[in-house]
């Protein structure tokens, strides 16, 4: 079964991204990554960040990753003609996608497992096996540097 979060983020035509090195290569400025590779790689890194923030803010707030669903009206796939249009079976309107995000603010049925943070556009909590690659704490830490680490790496005096 393919992973919908890393499906387009590939090292070649068939191997999903599973290493830090490939993510770095794909997300560098002027890389040879396609628009869809950049999109899926950046979404994967955002999910890593959501996990990192969940750990950092434990006990202070609840961090949730939310999918608005497949929303052709955003123009995301404009560089891939025919990839998805408003008539696609799973397509949602921009207002419907926004409602999925807003609904997360009123949820109180959080899963007991703190690693289960992904809320689908259908209002369901995805099983963490779907996004298991994002549960790697080393990847989360790599892609979510602290302010101190950024300042140190950039030579900014605190």
Helices and strands, number each (H, E), in the chain: 5, 2
Q: Which of 10, 28, 39, 132 is catalytic?
A: 39
Domain range holding 125?
20-154
Inside any domain, residue 24: yes
Inside any domain, residue 6: no
Count of domains for the chain:
1
Inside any domain, residue 3: no
Tokens of 53: 């923030």
pLDDT per residue as tens digits for the range 108-128: 999 999 999 999 888 899 999
Inside any domain, residue 11: no
Q: What is the C-alpha separation between 4 and 73, in angstroms, rounded?
A: 20
Q: Find tokens 């899926």 and name the residue.
A: 40
Q: What is the mean pLDDT of the chain?
A: 82
∠ CA 129-42-29 to the nearest 5 degrees?
Answer: 150
pLDDT at position 52:
95
Inside any domain, residue 5: no
- Active-site residue, 39 included: yes
Q: What is the C-alpha separation between 145 and 102, in angstroms, rounded?
A: 28
Q: Which of 10, 28, 43, 128 is catalytic?
A: 43
pLDDT per residue as tens digits for the range 3-23: 444 454 544 443 444 555 688
* pTM: predicted TM-score of the whole model, two decimal places: 0.78
Q: Are 65 and 117 in contact (CB under 8 A)?
A: yes
Inside any domain, residue 125: yes
Q: Which residue has the higher pLDDT, 13 or 43?
A: 43
Inside any domain, residue 49: yes
Q: Are 135 and 128 in contact (CB under 8 A)?
A: yes
Is the pLDDT at 2 greater than 50? The verdict is no
Inside any domain, residue 86: yes
Which residue intervals of the chain are DSSP H helices?
20-27, 35-56, 94-103, 137-142, 147-154
pLDDT at position 141:
93
């Amino acid at each position: 079964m393919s992973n919908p979060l890393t499906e387009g983020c590939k090292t070649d035509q068939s191997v999903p991204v599973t290493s830090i090195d490939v993510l770095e290569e794909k997300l560098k400025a002027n890389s040879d990554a396609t628009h869809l590779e950049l999109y899926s790689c950046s979404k994967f890194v955002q999910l890593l960040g959501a996990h990192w923030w969940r750990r950092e803010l434990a006990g202070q707030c609840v961090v949730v990753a939310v999918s608005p669903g497949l929303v052709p009206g955003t123009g995301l796939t404009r560089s891939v003609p025919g990839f998805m249009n408003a008539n696609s079976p799973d397509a949602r309107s921009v207002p419907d996608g926004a409602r999925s995000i807003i609904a997360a603010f009123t949820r109180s049925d959080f899963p007991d497992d703190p690693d289960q943070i992904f809320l689908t556009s259908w209002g369901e909590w995805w099983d963490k096996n779907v996004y298991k690659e994002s549960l790697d704490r080393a990847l989360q830490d790599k892609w979510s540097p602290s302010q101190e680490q950024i300042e140190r790496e950039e030579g900014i005096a605190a």
